[in-house]
Amino acid sequence: MVIGGGVHSNGLGRNRADFSEVGLAQRGGMKLNDHERERLRRVRELTEHDLSENLMPFWAGNAWDGEYGGFLTRLDRRGNRLDDSEKVLMMQVRMIHSLASAHRHGLRDQGYLDLAGRGFDFVVQNMWDAENGGFYFSVRRDGTPLSRRKNTDFHGYAMSSFAAYYEASGRKDSLDWAGRVFDLLQAKAADGDRGFIEDFDGADWPALNSDQMNLGSQTRVKTIDMHTNVMEGMMYLARASGSPRHKEALRNLVDLICTRGIHKECGCSVTVFDCDWNPLADVEGRMTTSYGLNVEMAWIVFDSADVLGAPRKTYRDTVLGLIDHALEFGFDHTRGGLAAFGPLTGRVADAVELGAGRLLKSWWAQAELLNALIQASAYTEKRKYLDAFLKEFEWVHGRQIDHECGDWYQDTDWESGRPQHTDKGREFKTSFHAGRALMRVSDAIGAL
């Protein structure tokens, strides 16, 4: 394919310290031969092209609601709106994060920072519950409340996004809002030294994605997914604010996740726990793990260590264990690509009792595996991680990305790569995971 757009320079305010996110600058890079360097140079060209000419134009060009403000994210393959009746908090703040990060990455001529700012203004002006505190789960197109549920997971993403927008824009009010969300979670969602509850509005909600986790009618549970997303939000906030209070909370949550959220014998996370962090089975009596969440958790723990000024070796075994588990049991070594979920131990392909859905290759899991593998390659200088990274990128670029219409397909078939459907938005999908991966991979390779 013809590569356009070139490799964008880093934005003003970025410096070598920012590359601590991936570790390459700290270690001076791997000892690569000329062939490997050329392959990575080509990967960087493709990531920059896919970011600047494909992914970001699709979402920035189609999602903004010019009439009421905010983002409409339920889109078909070509960016046409499938449903404009609801604006979900997570989708709004993920778009803010992605647009602000793209600007900071160097895409300065597309109006992304301005669009992120207008999205930020929409959220704080329309989605905040001034009487009870917290953001509504969703609003109607015109910004009036629709679902008044107060979900902890969504507020973790709000912290991430407001901090990222502050780093890109310098707007102090966005950092203040990130701190306000942090304070709210500490006051209403914190469960002592046992992490956080899933929702904090007093209602007995099923866990987010309860159907996907096959939890049936179980409530009052704790998910590793939510805690990882709150950890991510605290990491971005602590990095932006430098506050000792934010760092202390981040340190406590990282340690809780690493000691209670990961199965000691299997080396992977457990999907769901009771309120005291005892692992729970699904309605069929099975325990499962999410490979994508495990590898996302891995790089966030390393980034959190950097923010805290802690040595990465403190978390080395945990982080590499999560990545190794995903590669051993959930990775397609023939074609590339990571399975959706599987058993705590054993190859996902053999776990037929979990159904065919386990083998779907979801866009977000592929993005997070790219993040984890490029970081593990730099940290360990082990060829197995670099080889897996290159195989994974081949899958993503060849099968997961829609080169004709833009964006990434949500779920693709294990063998053929055929998309399960061609809609782009649906419930939880924007440019967030894919855009972050493309930026981090480009930055990592650029630091070689």
**Is residue 7 one of the residues assigned to a domain?**
no
For residue 246, what are the CA distances in angstroms to 97, 238, 259, 299, 304? 19, 5, 20, 19, 11
pLDDT at 14: 37
- Can you give the residue range of the structural domain that contains 167? 18-446
Mean pLDDT by 10 residues, the chain (448 residues): 31 34 44 90 98 98 98 97 96 98 97 98 98 98 98 98 98 98 98 97 89 81 97 98 98 98 96 95 92 98 98 98 98 98 97 96 98 96 96 98 98 98 90 98 91
Q: How many domains does the chain have?
A: 1
**Is residue 74 one of the residues assigned to a domain?**
yes
Helical spans, DSSP H, in 326-431: 363-380, 383-395
To which H or E segment does residue 272 belong? strand 272-273
Handedness of CA 105, 111, 114, 115 (dihedral sign): negative
pLDDT at 212: 78
**Is residue 231 one of the residues assigned to a domain?**
yes
> Residue 332, CB half-sphere, CA atoms under 13 Å: how many?
26
**Is residue 354 one of the residues assigned to a domain?**
yes
Q: 4-9 long-range contacts, Cβ below 8 Å, gap at least 24?
A: 4/49, 4/53, 5/48, 5/49, 5/52, 5/53, 6/48, 7/44, 7/45, 7/48, 7/442, 7/446, 8/48, 8/52, 8/105, 8/106, 8/107, 9/106
Handedness of CA 293, 190, 429, 14 (dihedral sign): negative
**Is residue 402 one of the residues assigned to a domain?**
yes
Task: Give CA–CA dist 267/298, Å, rounded.
Answer: 11
* Residue position matching structure tokens 């000024």: 309
3-state helix, strand, coil in the chain (%, to 5): 55, 10, 40
Cβ-Cβ contacts under 8 Å for 32 (sequence gap 6 or more): 40, 448
Report which DSSP code applies to 222: E
What pairs with residue 190 in β-bridges? 196
pLDDT at 9: 33
Q: What is the CATH number of the domain that holds 64?
A: 1.50.10.10
Task: Give CA–CA dist 39/28, Å, rounded.
Answer: 18
Q: Provide the whole-model pTM.
A: 0.93
**Is residue 5 one of the residues assigned to a domain?**
no
Task: Give CA–CA dist 329/292, Å, rounded.
Answer: 12
pLDDT at 29: 52
Q: What is the DSSP string of 78-99?
A: TS-BS--S-EEHHHHHHHHHHH
Q: At what angle do helices 363-380 and 316-325 cross, to 10 degrees?
A: 130
Q: How many C-beta atoms surround the C-beta of residue 260 within 10 A?
A: 18
pLDDT at 22: 39
**Is residue 203 one of the residues assigned to a domain?**
yes
Task: Give CA–CA dist 268/318, Å, rounded.
Answer: 9
Q: What type of residue is 17?
A: A
Question: Would you say 151 and 208 are in contact if contact means Cβ atoms under 8 Å apart?
Answer: yes
Q: Which is nearest to 392 in space by CA: 344, 341, 438?
A: 438
**Is residue 218 one of the residues assigned to a domain?**
yes
